[in-house]
Amino acid sequence: MHPDRWARFKALLGEAIEADPARRAELLREVARSDEELARELGEWLAVRTRADGFLETPAHPDALRGGHGRLALGPGARIGRYEVTAVLGFGSSGVVLEARQSDPDRLVALKVLQRGITSPVALQRFFDEARALARLRHPGVAQVFETGTFRQEGVSMPFIAMERVEGARDVVTYAEEHGLGRDARIGLLLDICDAVGHGHERGVVHRDLKPANVLAVSYTH
């Protein structure tokens, strides 16, 4: 979604959330006169917000608790825009990470997609804020963002982030153990991580969930 369009969407969504039902319906009609697509997306996200109000009472996705993805709608073979899902890489607290093949250019990417059950307006805003923040970073230790956008799933517009897929990556602890890294090598790896994190800090990006499981390593040069 273009930044200008996203800014308008957020402003309208905030106004609609605060409005009573009659004013909300009137607002959607007003938007539809000039932009039917935007009005439709607003209506969908308002509906999602209503369904998500009680999301803490039920799991975001039943398979997320079991660690499987047999009934995951976005499993291998599903299409998200110009991407075809090839594998499920993992579940997070708010979404799922997929491996997918991009058609043009032909390459494997990692797709981050929000879970439908928790796509509240706040979650949606945070998701795209994260994408814009990551897109500002250019560092060999930070996965590159290729694209952000939306796709339709069961009649609902859902956001996604397409990122660099790092082949053979392991979480930093597993990587250190598999490669038998000694003290100096582990310190060198930590310095590499600090350099990448510092790059983000210099650009106003702070990782709020930095832990070994969220740091991937694929090669070591020290």
Among all residues, which ones are annotated catalytic? 209
Short-list 131, 96, 136, CA closest to 114: 96
Helix (H, G, I), strand (E, B) or coil at 90: strand
Rg of the chain in Å (alpha carbons): 20
Which amino acid is located at 172 in the chain? V
Strands (E), 54-201: 79-80, 83-91, 95-102, 107-114, 145-153, 156-164, 170-171
**In this structure, what are the phi and psi dihedrals at residue 85, rounded to the nearest 5 degrees?**
-70, 130
Per-residue b or e along 110-122, where b marks 16 or more CB atoms closer than 10 Å to that residue's CB: bbbbbbbbbbbbe
- Which two three-digit tokens encode residue 170? 């392991």
